[in-house]
Structure 1
Amino acid sequence: MEKIKAIIESLIFASDTPLAPEKIRVVFPEVEKKEIKEIIDQLVLEYNERDGGIFLQEVAGGFQFRTNPELGQWIKKLKSSKPHSLSPQAMETLAIVAYKQPIVKSEIESIRGVDVGGPLKSLLDKKLVRIVGRKDVPGKPIIYGTTRRFLEVFNLKDLLDLPNLRELKELNQQQDIEDQGIEGQEITEQEILEEGIVNHEVTEQKIAEQEIAEIEIDIEDIPDL
């Protein structure tokens, strides 16, 4: 049991994204999912009781090692680049998408009272928001929703774990959010399929690009979270 526990711990540590018990079971098909979850719960408890620099957290449907937020000021000193958070406009747009999804651009603008082309483009570039399909109404506007990366960045287990807007803004100020897209680079069909877009044609991304206003947001590339 201790050997399996050590292996599970190393798998979670080595994974770039939150690791779910289902994926761990691929390595240990002979071990039940319930047993894997019990081992993970033991690890969570052990790291929490240590009160050290890292802890194990459930986020975005999986488990991931995170640094202790209380030690953030020292970690920031180690980084050469200045942390970047979302602009207030992008943050408000993201909050609307998160709470009202699935939602189209015109509905977001109706709530905010201003054009949201720039903030939407920024959120798409950072892969915090994704295209989930088209609404079955005249004009077939594009529908937007949040991504798994959104859950990871804001340390949320799932959408039911959403904080209120004030708490979301506070979390935003604590995060370094990197541009995940490259300006002018076309998205591949495989990436579109992985993002879950209803229409699988690459031209869907081009249509989305035309719909979203081309507003430059000056945010530098920073290390992955």
Structure 2
Amino acid sequence: MELKLIVEALLFSTHKPLAAKQLTDLISGRNEDEPEGVLPQHKKLKEAQVAAAIEELKVDYIQLNRSFQIQELSSGFQLVSKPEFGPWLKRMYEDRPNRLSQPALETLAIIAIRQPITRADIEGVRGVAIDGVMKTLLERGLVKITGRAEVPGRPLQYGVSQKFLDHFGLRSIEDLPDFEQLKKKYEAAKPRVLVNVAENPMDQGHGHNAPVELVEKQEAKPSEGNVPSPT
């Protein structure tokens, strides 16, 4: 059996990204004492061979004009539908999760560019309190605590998580749309006077307001036409 077909079956059967090492271990049975169903030629399988098989599949899908593709994320590879099929696919998913608000997206951008960063520094850049926004981002697992700053009081520092990268279809922070522009904007930003009233009333509570369609266009959600293959 061809290696690329086994790789394809594994990617098709999961809704989570699989790294080249995970695929290699699954196919070779390397982590099992008495693996079953392992082909002789795959017992010493290398990650480079799996990576080559993935590239073959990508070419096959392009040549066959398939409705899906293999997307490389920070945590591995995932089989997803192409964005142009979104209008039909989203009809199957009427109960869509709430989108992130503009304040939440801006806060995420600041954290991504300037991490590790304290809450006070984020509020200094944005000029508003971010309690509700941070609560939302932490609950969704998009932001994580990375440590404590070596300043009086040793406040917590935050950074973006692995889930953040996967959520937006990124391999690394540098893959953010307009990364250089965002970097210049937020690295050079001077702290503003913190006011008591948030720029958006919803920002003080749960951090949700009108959905932002364009900023989240890379998010791997059914509503955007970028849907993991069914299990």
One fold, TM greater than 0.5?
yes
Q: What CA distance in whole angstroms lies between the structure 2 residues aligned with 1:25 and 1:8?
A: 9
1:78 corresponds, among 71, 75, 92, to: 92
What is aligned with 1:214?
none
Deviations 1:139-161, CA, capped at 9 Å, x for gaps = 11111111111111111111221
Q: Secondary structure at the match of 1:144?
A: strand
Rg: which structure is higher? 2
Deviations 1:11-57, CA, capped at 9 Å, x for gaps = 12223321111111212251111111101111122223333321111
Question: CA offset at residue 8 of structure 1?
Answer: 1.3
Query: Comparing both structures, which one devotes a greater share of its residues to helix?
Result: 1
Aligned length: 178
Rate the CA distance shift 1:72–1:18 in 2: closer, same or farther, 3 A. same
1:105 corresponds, among 93, 101, 119, to: 119
What is aligned with 1:33?
47
Asked whether the equivalents of residues 19 and 62 of structure 1 are also in contact (C-alpha less than 8 Å), the reply is yes
The answer as to 2:214 corresponding to 1:170 is yes
The answer as to 2:50 corresponding to 1:6 is no
What is aligned with 1:202?
none
Q: Secondary structure at the match of 1:172?
A: coil
* TM-score, normalising length: structure 1: 0.71
Runs of 5+ unmatched residues, structure 2:
31-43, 183-211, 222-226
2:77 corresponds, among 48, 54, 63, to: 63
Q: Identity rate of aligned residues, in percent?
A: 36
Asked whether the equivalents of residues 168 and 220 of structure 2 are also in contact (C-alpha less than 8 Å), the reply is no
* TM-score, normalising length: structure 2: 0.69
Q: Secondary structure at the match of 2:166?
A: helix
Asked whether the equivalents of residues 73 and 169 of structure 2 are also in contact (C-alpha less than 8 Å), the reply is yes
Residue 128 of structure 1 aligns with an amino acid whose one-letter code is L
Runs of 5+ unmatched residues, structure 1:
178-223
Residue 12 of structure 1 aligns with an amino acid whose one-letter code is L
Q: CA RMSD in A?
A: 2.5
- Higher relative contact order, chain-length normalized (CA < 8 Å, sep 6+): 2
Runs of 4+ in structure 1 off by over 6 angstroms are: 165-169
Question: CA offset at residue 169 of structure 1?
Answer: 6.7
Rate the CA distance shift 1:97–1:43 in 2: closer, same or farther, 3 A. same
What is aligned with 2:16?
17
